[in-house]
Amino acid sequence: MKTVNGNSLKVVVKIEIKSLSDPDGNLDEEKLERLVMILSNLHNSGMQILVVSSGAIALGSKRMGLKSLPEDHIQMQAMAAIGQAELIKIYQHYFEEYNQVVAQILLTNQAMTNAERQANARNTFSKLLDKNIIPVINENDTVSTEDIELNDNYPLVLNVARLVDAHIILIKSVSDGRYMIVPAGTTTPGIIVNEEELPEKLAEVAGERSLYEFESRVFPEKFELLNFQ
């Protein structure tokens, strides 16, 4: 139903676990569950959903009782390893509540630049999406030598969107229940909508394919996103 050129509408969702946590780093599970319900609903409507979520280091540090995030590189990687397990467990738990199956994908920068790895990753994604599975993606911090969990995971979101040729980048507001819908194939600025209008507006954007020229893949860099909190 929600299709572009006969393909399901492909949506990459940017989530920051920080935005779902209180200042002490405790995850607000009610907020997370709400978000998962909304995404499950979009998935049920026939869209393909890919989640890019940060949060491994924060969850790992919390679990190990650290008072603040580590600054040392090796320490960060260790916390990411601990926290990633936690992160995927939480997503799995809540998505399962809404009858969805998730898969964990950890990517490095390398996978994005090396053509062969890129092709592998692309194949994996398309297999998962074909099987109606929601990939939950994060940076593979434990083996990355650089760029450890940037403050903002938008570069990773952008890479994933390019890799899978997504139609939409959906960004959950850090501060409230709103979302920004960014047509991924264009330089068109995103539109900000609330939870209630999300399904309808996404379908609308998909319907206005010609308006947004999805064929010419120009992915918006950060510009207008910085102001969206």
> Contact residues for another protein (CB under 8 A)?
1, 37-38, 40-41, 43-46, 97-99, 101, 131-133, 196, 199
Closer residue to another protein, CB minimum distance, 96 or 215 = 96
Provide the minimum distance between the beta carbon of 68 and another protein in the complex, in angstroms, as a whole number.
Answer: 35
Whether 199 contacts 45, CB under 8 Å: yes
Closer residue to another protein, CB minimum distance, 130 or 224 = 130
Closer residue to another protein, CB minimum distance, 101 or 218 = 101
Provide the minimum distance between the beta carbon of 45 and another protein in the complex, in angstroms, as a whole number.
Answer: 5
Report the distance separating Cα 154 and Cα 89, nearest Å: 23
Q: CA nearest 214: which of 173, 166, 170? A: 166
Counts for the chain of helices (H) and strands (E), in that order: 8, 9
Closer residue to another protein, CB minimum distance, 41 or 75 = 41
Report the distance separating Cα 209 and Cα 215, nearest Å: 9
Provide the minimum distance between the beta carbon of 102 and another protein in the complex, in angstroms, as a whole number.
Answer: 12
Report the distance separating Cα 190 and Cα 35, nearest Å: 19
Provide the minimum distance between the beta carbon of 136 and another protein in the complex, in angstroms, as a whole number.
Answer: 16
